[in-house]
Amino acid sequence: MTRVVELSGGVGGARLGRGLDSLDDVDLTVVVNVGDDLPIHGLYVSPDLDTMVYTLAGIEGPHGWGRADDTFIANTELARFGVDNRFQLGDLDLALKIYRSHGLAQGHTLTEVTDSVRAGFAIRSTVLPASDDPVRTMITTTDGSRLTFREYFVDRGHRDHVKKLDFEGDADANAAPGVIEAIDGADLLVIGPSNPPLSIWPILAIESIAQAVRRHPHVMAVSPLIGGRALKGPADVVMADLGLGSGSSAVVASYRGLIDTLVVDITDSDDARDIDGVNVVALETRIADRSNAATLARAILSL
């Protein structure tokens, strides 16, 4: 068994997670960003944890979030009461949100509730939130506004340029139980193809996790860029905004001092060389379906 830990944000990281999860000789632990967690109608929504769980279970929605074949009966009805229901929660998806919110209110930790959810979907890999403590990604825009994830991403469609990120609560946040042990025991630590500043930095903002990553002998990242651009979301724009440059070198710069290998897409194979001491390797990273995911996972393991 190869013990693999993946640090992951949402869709891209979850798809790689599914590929790794599908390999019989891999014992996978995913450590998932909780910086975007937010209350919706008083329910605890964890966009990246939910995308990960649904993707590992093979029931994710067509755009990578929410559930496949969901309905929006309750969500639509909320408008009757004047509620802003643009953050669409499907009826199947609501069951998870209700279950989690209730569990947390009863005093269970996010780690405990997440493991029950994992078991409910019969997922074999271990799914851990980065922290049971609140760590919230805050986006300061070039016009000086400091926005929550919801304001920046959902309400404003990530159209603002980013001046600075901070992760509220990071100084007081501990890694969730099992995270450090999993990283320390991993044969391979992979940072998934997620938005480096917005999805991975909030994990690394927890100092004990950053230290564990730094001391790991073999850390690989998978670039979220295809042909230098984010497949979806603002990864390329945010990295440029933050002065990290563009393309593969921006990803390397985002993970300075942390990784030894960067996997880029074959469309970026011109970058397959040493960049600032990081060995850049080109593979087919676009994950359109389950078979792609497994192929990429296998290729990564063989590096």
User: Footprint of a second copy on this chain (CB under 8 A)?
Assistant: 41-43, 71, 73-75, 77-78, 80-83, 91-92, 94-96, 98-99, 101-102, 105-106, 116-117, 120-121
Nearer to a second copy, 94 or 242 (CB): 94
Nearer to a second copy, 92 or 154 (CB): 92
Backbone angles phi, psi at 52, to 5 degrees: -65, -50
Tell the smallest beta-carbon distance from residue 106 to a second copy (Å).
Answer: 8
How far apart are alpha carbons 18 and 10 in whole angstroms?
Answer: 12
Q: Return the number of the residue (99 or 111) whose C-beta is nearest a second copy.
A: 99
> Across the strands, what pairs with 167?
137
**Single-letter amino acid, residue 81:** F
C-alpha distance from residue 83 to each of 93, 101, 246 (Å):
18, 19, 40
State in angstroms the smallest separation of the CB of 70 from a second copy: 8
Task: Detail the DSSP E strand segments found in the chain.
Answer: 2-8, 26-32, 38-40, 43-45, 126-129, 136-141, 146-148, 162-168, 188-191, 219-222, 225-226, 229-230, 261-265, 274-275, 278-283
Regarding beta strands 261-265 and 278-283, do their DSSP bridges make them parallel or antiparallel, or are they unpaired?
parallel
Q: Which is nearer to a second copy, 98 or 275 (CB)?
A: 98
Residue 96 or 198 having the CB closest to a second copy: 96
Least distance CB 14 / a second copy (angstroms):
19
Smallest separation (angstroms) from a second copy to the CB of 105: 5
For 58, 116, 117, 118, the CA distances from 122, given in Å and listed in that order, are 11, 10, 9, 6
CB-CB contact of 190 with 222 (8 Å): yes
**What is d(CA 86, CA 93) in angstroms, rounded to the nearest whole number?**
15
Q: For residues 74 and 210, which CB has a smaller minimum distance to a second copy in the complex?
A: 74
**Minimal distance in Å, beta carbon 20 to a second copy?**
24
CB of 18 to a second copy, least distance (A): 19
Report yes or no: 172 and 6 within 8 Å, Cβ to Cβ.
Answer: no
